[in-house]
């Protein structure tokens, strides 16, 4: 797909705003979400995930949000991406952290 190729070229040149348009036109939602995350446009990335339900895009945004500490959103997106083991791992971390907080308050 020529539009996807051009979007990758633009992204490599750091022209992310232009790359967004071509990724959108070529329906390369994973790459579009990746660029949106680089630009700090997580809410727009989440809109793309909600509209397309693209597993790769959901997985990428889930991992991105996990690193930013938005664990509940990350779990939801990883589950939508069918990355169940990643979502379960995050749930276990939350449970462990919650348990540690309760024990330190005693």
What pTM did the predictor assign?
A: 0.86
Query: 78 or 102, which is more confident?
Result: 78
Domain segments of the chain as ranges: 2-105
Q: What is the pLDDT of residues 32-87, one digit of tens each?
A: 999 999 999 999 999 999 999 999 999 999 999 999 999 999 999 999 999 999 99
CATH of region 2-105, choose from 3.40.605.10, 1.25.40.10, 3.30.70.20, 3.60.21.10? 1.25.40.10
What's the distance, Cα to Cα, between the start and end of the chain in Å?
A: 60
What is the model's pLDDT at position 97?
Answer: 61
Provide DSSP, 45-100. HHHHHHHH--HHHHHHHHHHHHHTT-HHHHHHHHHHTT-HHHHHHHHHHHHHHHHH
Asked whether residue 18 carries a pLDDT value surpassing 90, the answer given is: yes
Rg of the chain over all Cα atoms, to the nearest angstrom:
17
Task: Please state, in angstroms and rounded to a whole number, the distance separating the CA atoms of residues 106 and 104.
Answer: 6
Closest residue by Cα to residue 77 from 89, 93, 90, 61: 61
């Amino acid at each position: 797909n020529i539009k996807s190729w051009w979007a990758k070229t633009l992204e490599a040149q750091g022209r992310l705003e232009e790359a967004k348009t071509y990724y959108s036109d070529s329906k390369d939602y994973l790459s579009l979400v990746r660029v949106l995350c680089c630009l700090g446009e997580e809410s727009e990335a989440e809109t793309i995930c909600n509209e397309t339900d693209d597993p790769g895009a959901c997985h990428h945004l889930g991992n991105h949000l996990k690193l930013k500490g938005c664990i509940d959103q990350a779990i939801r997106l990883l589950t939508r991406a069918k990355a169940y083991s990643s979502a379960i791992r995050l749930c276990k971390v939350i449970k462990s952290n919650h348990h540690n907080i309760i024990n330190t308050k005693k």
